[in-house]
Structure 1
Amino acid sequence: MVDPIESPVSNNPDWTVSELSGALKRTVEDAFGHVRVRGEISGFRGQHSSGHAYFSLKDAGARLDAVVWKGNFGRLRVRPEEGLEVVAIGRVTTFPGKSSYQIVIEQIDYAGAGAIMAMLEERKRRLAAEGLFATERKRRPPFLPAVIGVVTSPTGAVIRDILHRLNDRFPRRVIVWPVRVQGDTCGAEVAAAIRGFNALAPGGVVPRPDVLIVARGGGSLEDLLGFSDEAVVRAAAESDIPLIAAVGHETDVTLIDFAADVRAPTPTAAAEMAVPVRAELVAEVEGLRARMRACMTRGHDRRRADLKAIARHLPSGEALLAVPRQRLDIASQRLPKALRANTAAHRLMLVRVEARFGVGRLNALIERRRERFTLFAGRLDSALKANARAHGERIGRARERLGTAGERLPLAFARQLSERGRRLDALGKMLNALSYQGVLARGFALVRDASGTPVRLAASLQNGDALDIQFADGSVPAVVGGPGTVVKPPTPPRRRTAKARDKDARETGLRSPPDQPTLFEN
């Protein structure tokens, strides 16, 4: 047999996997602690269902896993975006479950102006692909708005410049929605202000603006980032109210400038775009009124000259009436001859009509009418006789039915009278059975107090009360006993059963109501 090979003896202790992982974790955290790492965000797909965010930071030669816990994600000043170059501040640790190291990020900053510009270019490209910057979506602001909504800081110089410029050009009603124009909450507040103005109902307590101005003074690229926020761009694109963007100076560019309907180089220029100059409008109206008066005067003069020129070419009244007067003279000469010819023609027509309606023709017409009348009279006599026969037959049938009914009437009356007599006897029996006098005849008595009211309960009596006790053959006066007399309440009578009541109803032929009490039932 071969002896087993003995393992070499070592002085190194044995580590479990968990112990080694924990030791590595403590070593990495103690050696590095909080670090600032610059890199490009990669693999970011938004927050996990748990609320945490997982992605990587990379550069040209390496990749570092990164995680932002749910509690810190909402407090980040710069939100992670795919491809954004940032400086992440956090602590380096290990993840034993994958034998890897990672950075737990607590704060994210932009890695210089170049990173911000790259982020803005990527966001601009993505939003433009959705059509938010399309030219056909932009609208022209109203020429003279009644109400102007301004989204800006209420304490800065911008709102004073806008109000001063509006008062100089054309005073209008201005509603200011105060927002922060710099900082982490700037984008959310500006987007909420734009949507808030659009949510106002026309004709409400707070009037809905006809045009919006989103304004801010100049600043650095980081200071203006709030107006390039995606929420602000979407709110500006969705606005039903025409929007003028006036953020920064003329050289400053933010993404709201592309989504707005009009971009103004400065807030003062936005006020100039919102309203015209009142003095210029008044002067223009006065000029138009003077031109209108001059045009009307020239038009009247030209028409008056044209009328005079046309009047000179018209013929005189004598020349216009010469031909009609001659036609009248010719017609007056032909009129007597025409009247005689017309009279002769009508006389001839009258003779022809007289020949058609001579005496013989009239007599023949009268004879034909007489024959038709005789025929109608015969038909009417026949119809009257047939109608009389029909009515006679109907009357005869009715007389026969009446005789038959007269013969049946005494029998029906006797039968009905007998039936009513039996019902009357049954009702009399029921009345005697239910009458309290019948109960008295069976040995009971009716007790009344001094006022004649029946006494139902012995407990209602007191000593000395006068009573009247009625029996079947008369009444006897009585007085409740003196001291020491105990008045016991009577035993309540037994209720009659439903079977007994049904039996009485069958005997009398009438059915009394099931809840009808007897004389001695409570």
Structure 2
Amino acid sequence: SDYDRRLNTCGGRAVEERRTRLISAARGLPRPADLLALAQQRLDLAVRGLPRLDDLTAPAERRFKEVAARLDAALQRNTDIHARDLLKVTARLSPDTLHRQRNDAGRRVGDLGKRLDLAARRVPERVAQHARLPALQDRMNNCAKRRLEHETNRLVGLDKLRLSLNPERPLELGFALVRKADGTIARSAGDLASGERVSLKFKAGERDAVIDGESSGVVPPPQPAPPPRPTPRPKPAASTDQGSLF
């Protein structure tokens, strides 16, 4: 129809006009090669400044080769060591060695069996000895008690003897101890002169005194000589054989 024709004509004109404008705008824009030229130059300069791939991998490759060589040598030494150890073990595992070890083990087992048999035979004797232990313990306890009582009585007697021989015991009975000026003990009236200063020691304290009067001249009778002490008889030598408690 006429409307469609006119619409197509208007559309074609609009497209041509837009195409003309686009071509004009494209002529004013720079070319893609011109836009990428500067970046390409920068990229080329940057690539030239970088080291080559071979230069980067060369040190690592050298180290890898050194480690590989050392690893091969270490593996070879380890293999040799294990081979020598294996030879030593196989030499020890020879049939003669195994038979000898078995014979030694058999002898040890036989010795242990003999010792066990001997111990089993001694079991009744050990049981009897252990059965006597309570009676022996009672005897030892009774002996210890008697010895303790004896020593206690002996200690009491020695304490009584000590008290009886105490030179100050007469002071408790009301007597006094007379000492001269030089500190010696006056044992009789004849030992003291008239006017001599003495010291009287009582149970509770001391007092000074002066001797008055004359001595009566009475001389105390001489004390009888002590009887001779009997010669102790030699004791028989104690036997060192205590016997068996079992």
> Is the helix fraction higher in 1 or 2?
2
Normalising by the residue count of structure 1, what TM-score does the alignment of the two structures yield? 0.21
Greater RCO, 1 or 2 (C-alpha within 8 Å, sep 6+): 2
Larger Rg: 2
Q: TM-score, normalised by structure 2?
A: 0.39
